[in-house]
Amino acid sequence: MSNELQLSVGQYSDAGVKPVNQDFYATSIPDNYLLQSKGAVIALADGISSSAVSQIASAAAVEGFISDYYSTPEAWSVKRSAQRVLSAVNSWLYAQTRQSQYRSDPDRGYVCTFSALIIKSTTAYLFSAGDTRIYRVQGESLEQLTSDHRFYVSQQQSYLTRALGMDQHLEVDYRALSVSAGDVFILATDGIYEFISPQQVTEQIRRGADLNAAAEAITRQARDHQSDDNLSIQIVRIDQLPGLSADEVRQQLTELPFPPELDARDDFDGYTILRKIHSSPRSHVYVARDHDSGETVVLKTPSMELREDPAYLERFLMEDWVARRINSAHVLKPVTHHRRRQFMYVASEYIDGITLAQWMRDHPRPALSEVRNIATQIAKGLRAFHRLEMIHQDLKPDNIMIDPSGTVKIIDFGTTRVAGIMEMDTPLARLEIPGTAQYSAPEYFLGNPGTAAADVFSLGVIVYQMLSGQLPYGVEVVKARSLKAQQRLRYIPIHHRDEHTPVPLWVDEAIRKALQPEAHKRYQEADEFIYDLSQPNKQFLRLRKEPLIQRNPVQFWQGISALLLLLLMILLYRQ
């Protein structure tokens, strides 16, 4: 018999008397090393009857939780991984409601209750928000392991006090307990547990080994007892627990070790190092070949000098998770691990291409159509971030790759901000400007958090630089550390930088809007910017002719100087 965790699961769901089933459940029991490192996940969500879109929230919550949980770093504990994923899922659901027609009535928005059971090694981890329940079977009775987050106004009237998507901040109940072989757990919605007795539940489970049949029979009984809601139940039985070696126990108690600095031809964790492509005080990047698949990949390892910096380590580990949450042709893809990692590092696809910084050096006077093409692909990559409530925060030419086919990909997610996740950074670290100062939005210099509009500013800087070869505000934006100083920043049109650059006025005005120092005056989405780059905005076509000081500052001040000289000569003549 294999020495690993073995579970049996039965589950069933029915809409009952309702026209739509707003419940959603799923189970994931990996058959590879993830079962040891992350465990098995059983999750259940229950939509709220006041919402017509709650079934969407339930499905998104369960599917998103399971997918993102397995993408979290192995160095994170179960508690930390699950709570961070739930915070991200909650923020996404809350944002969907805020952007929908239900923004003024959250009870009709993307809201659902949620419970999850994670079984890893010999421990069960429970997470809940709302009134979906988790039980453990105890003889003829059920031991309720979770609390209902519901306030009762009267015997007939009550309302939820916690649920996913209900509020910007989510508080999740957490509990961990030791388990034994033979333990049985149940996850159920109120359409089940309010209409059937514990004895009827345990009797169905005892009748046979087919847990799916037991789940269906329990659901049928609850419906026969006049259940007036959707009915969903999951039954989990622990058939075998793993026996851990001393090394495995120690591995669970410690984080993955830092890798040594590597050289070409070194064997490292199932890879052969081919060459080093980047090295800095913060990280080392290598091209490597996978021993098993023969695939060429990129490995990024943390710097030993920062092994005592928790904020840095947090960002490094987040980078891998961010990559695994995004699916876009214009965002760097992570490598799927089929082996347990022995060291802390990030593996991603190898792009045989050049950075945008190099492309700009090779194309000092690009055609406007080429710039539009690159900017459009960058915007598509940003859209993938922003749809998941993530802000890249370090968009710059060195973090954009172009492959031989012309496909543009955004790389390096070390400073990405994920909504709903509180970072480990110390207060000092939080004051640091994320990303590279010359490409960072002005609001970062005021200590304000970034939004999608901050990434749009960075894209605007890149477009401006591609067309003019210069930065729009030079180093002045870095010096502007107050609102008043930022309001003094002046945009210099591209055709004033270089009269030989054929940029239509309406294109220049679109770039000007993307580079507005005040975030609320900027494009709020990258797609809006790209749209105005591609076809004339009527508002820009109606603009009055620019003042001379903006159209040609040098000529303006030359004129002022000439006028002052003329006045001086007149005064001298009169004397």
- 132, 65 contact by CB (below 8 A): no
CA torsion sign for 451, 453, 457, 458 is positive
Write out the H or E segment, with its range, that includes residue 134. strand 133-138
User: Is 497 inside a domain boundary?
Assistant: yes
Three-state DSSP class for residue 172: coil
Same domain, 274 and 374: no
Domain's final residue, options 311, 326, 349: 349
pLDDT band for position 543 (50/70/90)? low
Polymer length in residues for the chain: 575
Q: Are 167 and 60 contained in the same domain?
A: yes
Domain boundary, last residue among 349, 368, 389: 349
| Distance (Å, whole) CA 317 – CA 346 | 8
Q: What is the C-alpha to C-alpha distance for residues 294 and 334, in angstroms, rounded to an integer?
A: 16
Q: What mean pLDDT comes out for the span 195-222? A: 92
Tell me if 212 is assigned to some domain.
yes
56 has a pLDDT exceeding 90: yes
The predicted model gives 541-553 an average pLDDT of 60
Residue 566 lies in a domain: no
> What residues have CB less than 8 Å from 254, skipping those under 6 apart?
none
Report DSSP state, residue 330: T
- Examine the pLDDT at 155 and tell me if it is beyond 80: no
What does the block give as tokens for 479?
């010096």
**Lateral strand order in the sheet of 23-28:** 23-28, 40-47, 112-120, 123-129, 173-178
Give the mean pLDDT of 242-254: 45
Q: In the predicted model, what is the mean pLDDT of residues 516-536?
A: 94
Pairing between β-strand 346-349 and β-strand 296-302 as defined by DSSP bridges: antiparallel
The answer to whether the CB of 305 falls within 8 A of the CB of 283 is: no
Question: Band of the pLDDT at 2, cuts 50, 70, 90?
Answer: low
Together in a domain, 106 and 181? yes
Q: Are 380 and 343 contained in the same domain?
A: no
Average pLDDT over residues 467-483: 86
Q: What is the CATH number of the domain that holds 261?
A: 3.30.200.20
pLDDT (tens digit, 9 = 90+) per residue, 160-169?
999 999 998 9
DSSP at 121: T
Dump pLDDT digits (tens) for 96-116: 999 999 888 888 999 999 999
Q: What is the mean pLDDT of residues 438-464?
A: 93
Q: Is there a single domain that holds both residue 229 and residue 274?
A: no
Higher pLDDT, 49 or 430: 49
Flag whether pLDDT at 450 surpasses 90.
no
> In the 8-state DSSP scheme, what is residue 306?
G
Local confidence band at 200 (pLDDT 50, 70, 90 cut-offs)? very high
Crossing angle between the packed helical segments 452-468 and 368-387, to the nearest 10 degrees: 170
CA distance 8 to 12: 14
Same domain, 114 and 231: yes
Any domain includes 560: no
Domain boundary among 289, 319, 349: 349
Type of residue at 10: G
105 and 153 share a domain?
A: yes
Separation in Å, CA 69 to CA 34, 64, 79, 124, 127: 11, 8, 10, 15, 13
> 297 by DSSP, 3-state: which?
strand
Residue 236 pLDDT more than 70? yes
For residue 229, pLDDT over 90 is answered with yes
Q: Which domain holds residue 24?
A: 6-242
572 falls within a domain: no
What is the Cα gyration radius of the chain?
29
pLDDT single digits (tens) 381-425: 999 999 888 899 999 999 999 999 999 999 999 888 887 664 333
Distance of CA 228 to the CA centre of its chain: 37
Residues 322 and 217: their CA atoms lie apart, in Å, by 41
Q: Quick one: CA torsion of 362, 368, 374, 378, rounded to 10 degrees?
A: 130
Axis-axis angle for helices 198-206, 211-224 (nearest 10): 150
Q: State what percent of residues in the chain have pLDDT above 70.
A: 92
pLDDT of residue 332: 96
In 10-105, which ranges are continuous DSSP H helix? 34-37, 54-69, 78-98
Q: How many domains does the chain have?
A: 3
Mean pLDDT of the chain: 88
Is residue 363 assigned to a domain? yes
Residue 1 lies in a domain: no
User: Phi/psi of residue 211, each to 5°?
Assistant: -70, -30
Residue 524 inside a domain? The answer is yes
Q: Stretch 363-383: mean pLDDT, rounded?
A: 96
Average pLDDT over residues 261-271: 95
User: pTM higher than 0.75, yes or no?
Assistant: no
CATH number for position 154: 3.60.40.10
d(CA 302, CA 282): 6
The pairing of strands 267-268 and 346-349 is unpaired
Cα separation, 537 vs 207, in Å, equals 71
- 189 lies in the same domain as 274: no
In this structure, the answer to whether residues 120 and 204 fall within a common structural domain is yes
How far from 21 is each of 25, 65, 212, 232, 521, CA to CA, in Å? 11, 20, 19, 9, 43
Q: What is the average per-residue pLDDT within 369-388?
A: 95
What is the mean predicted confidence (pLDDT) over 211-222?
A: 96
The candidate with the shortest Cα–Cα distance to 46, out of 70, 16, 67, 72, is: 16
Res. 469: pLDDT tops 50? yes
- Are 370 and 343 members of one domain? no
Q: At a CB cut-off of 8 Å and minimum separation 6, what does 572 contact? A: none
38 secondary structure, DSSP code: T
Q: Are residues 317 and 195 in the same domain?
A: no
Residue listed under structure tokens 């770039």 = 511
Residue 204 pairs in a beta bridge with none
Residues near 212 by beta carbon (within 8 Å), at least 6 away in sequence: 10, 11, 12
Q: What is the pLDDT of residue 74?
A: 74
Nearest CA to 300 out of 311, 284, 312 is that of 284
CATH number at residue 398: 1.10.510.10
What's the number of CA atoms in the CB half-sphere (13 Å) around residue 539?
Answer: 4
DSSP character string of 205-226: HHT-S-HHHHHHHHHHHHHHTT
312 shares its domain with 363: no
Residue 311 confidence (pLDDT): 75
Q: Which of 215-219, 262-266, 415-419, 547-551 has the lowest mean pLDDT?
A: 547-551
Closest CA to 420 of 94, 174, 151: 94
Tell me which residue of 93, 118, 117 sits closest to 106, measured CA to CA.
93
More reliable by pLDDT, 205 or 436: 205
